[in-house]
């Protein structure tokens, strides 16, 4: 069992000033501590309890809650009952307190590929790779509120302060490379998701396991290089002096892990001065590849660039890459899938941005022989209702939040391709066959990476914490 204690004596606790200096100094905070991970792993038991099917993960998070009944969960009865009342006498409890009339899918559905999976015209490019997808049609969440539901999707708990899935994998498996971080995050270029950096935070795990945010533009990591006014000789001299002072300061403070972690951060930063520009340099890609992803074309350009960078990072040993499709809530137009007013317009705009790049990534990974060992995840915090987000007895183009039954999918990494698992009811509202909780989902992801989710633990505040809390069962039917 992987267990670690963070209870230390009062004398070993860092001074408040040390914490502040750490928070504001260095490169992109603790995310550059990856160099410590191999040392950390040497002091704890291995977590891989079986042969892993996947070596790395690329995770797409569609923020806002995309509509399963408009994308992957076809319900013919919803077509027939369009404009009618919800079956049954009881009115549902909804996020906005009202439920309108039933609303048919806004896009036509077709069976795709040899597998016959249903994919609507909302995602024509993903439809092309349907035979690589493993659908879960029976996901359920515990909250209809975006922020706690997003935390549960990414961290396993509705409250903030818990480690994200990428942080748990960084802690449990460590790094495959000393040149790049283990956990990298590529947010939507328009805005950050609700909850901001908490979504990729390390919580109570050692801070080196939090995600490293790469930005768009010419400087993916701020302050990675010294100012032009500082010569190379001055930079090296300052590093030597700093290393000497920090080594002296550490004497008698060996139990304080913050200082050596920060020292390692600067060593890592030196390596990243060459590795990050190389990993994010898309001029090394062929024109055919750039066009396939949609680089340089609107509206795909921003997501296409991030998808290509995700592949290049994965090839170079980054364990977990997380991409967000959608950002902050509210605003006009919305930055995401939270389609209360006009699902047709909102979803079409968002799908046009991401459909082609994500499909191209799957095809690219497959052609390079990487899909078999790369687990691709496509998730959202909850789905949307099959009835309109409108007053009772009225219709409309929007849909409300629906945590009671929605669709996510996986690809590659040891999953059974072309599978449709679980089911919602005849109108796509509630999961009625093989419901899957987030602990089940997380347990299955860890299993594919060779980890028993009950053994990956961290002792915190008197409790052996884990990603799946005290729940979760591996869904063996999803495995190839």
Domains of the chain: 10-478 (3.40.720)
Per residue in 457-470, pLDDT (tens digit) is 999 999 999 999 99
User: What pLDDT was estimated at residue 291?
Assistant: 98
Q: pLDDT class for 349, splitting at 50, 70, 90?
A: very high
Query: Token match 């048919």: residue?
Result: 104
Q: Taking the model in full, what pTM does it have?
A: 0.85
User: What pLDDT was estimated at residue 250?
Assistant: 79
Q: pLDDT class for 30, splitting at 50, 70, 90?
A: very low
> Is residue 262 over pLDDT 80?
no
Query: Which of 125-129, 195-199, 375-379 is predicted with the least confidence, judged by mean pLDDT?
Result: 195-199
User: What pLDDT was estimated at residue 51?
Assistant: 87
């Amino acid at each position: 069992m992987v267990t670690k204690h963070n209870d230390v004596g009062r004398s070993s606790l860092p001074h408040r000033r040390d914490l502040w200096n750490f928070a504001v100094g260095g490169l992109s905070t603790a995310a550059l501590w990856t160099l410590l991970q191999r040392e950390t792993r040497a002091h704890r038991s291995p977590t891989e309890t079986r042969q892993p099917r996947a070596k790395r993960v690329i995770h797409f998070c569609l923020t806002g809650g995309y509509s399963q009944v408009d994308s992957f969960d076809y319900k013919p009865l919803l077509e027939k009952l369009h404009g009618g009342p919800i079956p049954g006498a009881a009115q549902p409890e909804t996020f906005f307190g009202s439920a309108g009339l039933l609303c048919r899918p806004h896009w036509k559905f077709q069976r795709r590929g040899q597998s016959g999976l249903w994919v609507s015209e909302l995602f024509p490019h993903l439809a092309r790779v349907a035979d690589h997808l493993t659908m879960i049609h029976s996901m359920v969440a515990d909250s209809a509120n975006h922020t706690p539901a997003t935390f549960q999707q990414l961290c396993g708990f509705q409250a903030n302060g818990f480690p994200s899935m990428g942080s748990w994998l960084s802690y449990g498996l460590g790094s495959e490379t000393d040149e790049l971080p283990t956990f990298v995050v590529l947010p939507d270029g328009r805005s950050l998701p609700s909850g901001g950096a908490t979504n990729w935070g390390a919580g109570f795990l050692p801070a080196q396991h939090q995600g490293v945010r790469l930005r768009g533009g010419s400087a993916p990591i701020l302050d990675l290089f010294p100012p032009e006014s500082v010569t190379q000789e001055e930079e090296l001299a300052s590093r030597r002096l700093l290393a000497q002072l920090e080594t002296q300061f550490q004497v008698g403070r060996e139990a304080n892990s913050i200082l050596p972690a920060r020292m390692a951060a600067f060593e890592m930063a030196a390596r990243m001065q060459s590795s990050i520009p190389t990993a994010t340099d898309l001029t090394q890609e062929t024109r055919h590849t750039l066009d396939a992803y949609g680089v340089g074309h609107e509206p795909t350009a921003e997501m296409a660039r991030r998808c290509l960078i995700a592949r290049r990072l994965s090839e170079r040993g980054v364990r977990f890459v997380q991409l967000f499709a959608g950002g902050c809530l509210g605003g006009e137009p919305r930055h995401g899938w939270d389609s209360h007013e006009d699902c047709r317009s909102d979803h079409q705009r968002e799908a046009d941005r991401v459909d082609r790049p994500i499909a191209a990534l799957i095809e690219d990974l497959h052609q390079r022989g990487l899909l078999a060992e790369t687990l691709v995840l496509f998730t959202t915090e909850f789905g949307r209702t099959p009835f309109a987000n409108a007053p009772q007895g009225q219709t409309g183009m929007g849909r409300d939040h629906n945590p009671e039954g929605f669709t996510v999918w996986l690809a590659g990494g040891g999953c059974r391709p072309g599978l449709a698992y679980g089911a919602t009811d005849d109108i796509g509202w509630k999961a009625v066959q093989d419901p899957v909780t987030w602990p089940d989902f997380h347990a299955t992801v860890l299993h594919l990476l060779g980890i028993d989710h009950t053994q990956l633990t961290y002792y915190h505040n008197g409790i052996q914490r884990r990603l799946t809390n005290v729940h979760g069962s591996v869904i063996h039917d999803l495995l190839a």
